[in-house]
Structure 1
């Protein structure tokens, strides 16, 4: 498949593909019947068949790249289950469950936790409001944690206690970027010596308050800073295996930046699912740890 062919890195850096295991959910019941973010307009028609087709292309792309994909059954009446990234946060076989902010999504939390338990994960039921990998991103040994619109600051403390890792709190200020995974992309999990040179994150500076921007500049001085134009088309809501980065075809500037750093961009349109406020990463929850 031509989109998966590697290009010679402009920097001479050889990116290393790493195996991933993901959880996805077919958007069989996808629609926009309520509004809990600026992208959702119930008056705008949605095409479930088109959403399924676009989702299937993402699923097939992961398999073509050699990754494993598990599926959770969709539930009628829960159209946002397709956004599996919000269903929990998993490291080393432990699943910290989600506790959704809005009533429309609350039933998803138990459904995901049941799936985690049935598939060999040790489940921790949350006490604090959090929306899983939507607001928690693992970079090396550090958890970057978002707040401002969905997950609460108390969940940052709780996730740190669950996993015994450093948590860096970042505050989102633009309602279009209501989850951390809409404003930061983890391109490579490496952190520490050599980590900055590998540009292991990309982010949208204007999605954050000044304190958070300063933290990101200090911790990741060589990270890719994405333009407002590319952020506005959900360019950062992407998935990377350390070599291949699946991104929106409209994020043309980000595509060029990735190529310059030695990544192989794969352009994939999820425009129908963006009507619900979700993109590539929203549809993709990383499963770390438990045996299949």
Structure 2
């Protein structure tokens, strides 16, 4: 049986089971702390991923409006949102997830592959130092932070294939002191881990972490790894991925998703999660969704 067909069959089975027992697992939200950057200077003036088209008009005011609504959504859900001041000439600084990974108060900064974004890393480094973080390490290898790193509460899932160097995975393990599992991305549309996978609930009190992911974004070997580690994962479809629906943020119960991700929202509802839909369409013109705009500050 091929890997893709196996995932499809398992997805249908899971849908049936969760629809029959939507309250089988109690979903408990946990308060989070996020770092965000207003898209004051947002535009699309270069191409570093398949979503970007400088010839397509961009409405910066609308981007700010959508970002503000996302920030207010987090605050309404009880989360704390910190902000960093945007810098002229850095239109992608709004995608704060790409600029740092924080676990237990330890910070691993970023090192961008694209020269257009390189200066962002130092602005975030200074923010961490100015806000009381002392254990801050800047990487030697290309590392696009939470764009390619996802913390499950037990292990750090680490993407590679388009942006983050494989060697950065070992660097993350040494710096953050957590075990790392390498995952290989193969579809250039889903160039970061956070547009192909997200953590729905972290491991806690003996309960395993739960994730959602789009299998076709990963190599066959990585698909087998994910199926082994997360047998009860939510299996996403091309429909979910194509609207950047997998670029989502979960607090263990509430899942913030793009408004277009209606199929994924229905699956999550059947699992006992609460989808919270937001419009992030303007920022998607640069390949970003809710998660791209959101760095989690853990500890």
Verify the 8 A CA contact 2:107 2:176 in the aligned structure 1: no
Aligned equivalents of 2:42, 2:255: Cα separation in 1: 25
Q: Is residue 2:178 matched to residue 1:165?
A: yes
Matching residue within 246, 252, 264 for 1:254: 264
Q: Which runs of 4+ in 1 moved over 4 A?
A: none
Q: Is residue 2:253 matched to residue 1:243?
A: yes
Q: Is residue 2:129 matched to residue 1:117?
A: yes
| Matched residue, 2:115 | 103
Q: Secondary structure at the match of 1:275?
A: helix
Q: Any unmatched runs of 5+ in structure 1?
A: 1-8
**For each residue in 1:154-207, what CA deviation from the matched residue of structure 2 results, as whole angstroms up to 9, or x when unmatched?**
0001001112211100011111111101001111111684316xxx10000000
Verify the 8 A CA contact 2:41 2:86 in the aligned structure 1: yes
| Matched residue, 1:4 | none
**For each residue in 1:118-138, what CA deviation from the matched residue of structure 2 results, as whole angstroms up to 9, or x when unmatched?**
111121011110001110110
**TM-score normalized by the length of structure 2:** 0.91
Aligned equivalents of 2:164, 2:199: Cα separation in 1: 19
Q: Any unmatched runs of 5+ in structure 2?
A: 1-20
Aligned pairs for 1:260-271 (under 5 A) are 260-271=270-281
Verify the 8 A CA contact 1:97 1:109 in the aligned structure 2: yes
Verify the 8 A CA contact 1:83 1:284 in the aligned structure 2: yes
Change (3 A) 1:225 1:281: same
CA RMSD after TM alignment: 1.1
| Matched residue, 1:55 | 67
Q: Compute the displacement of 1:12 (Å).
A: 3.2
Aligned equivalents of 2:24, 2:263: Cα separation in 1: 20
Q: Secondary structure at the match of 1:169?
A: strand
Verify the 8 A CA contact 1:93 1:120 in the aligned structure 2: no
**For each residue in 1:81-121, what CA deviation from the matched residue of structure 2 results, as whole angstroms up to 9, or x when unmatched?**
00000011011111101000010000001111111111111
Q: Is residue 2:272 matched to residue 1:272?
A: no
Verify the 8 A CA contact 1:149 1:175 in the aligned structure 2: yes
Aligned pairs for 1:1-292 (under 5 A) are 10-121=22-133, 122-190=135-203, 193-195=206-208, 200-289=210-299
Tell me the number of residue pairs that the alignment of Structure 1 and Structure 2 aligns.
278
Aligned equivalents of 2:148, 2:132: Cα separation in 1: 23
Change (3 A) 1:178 1:191: farther
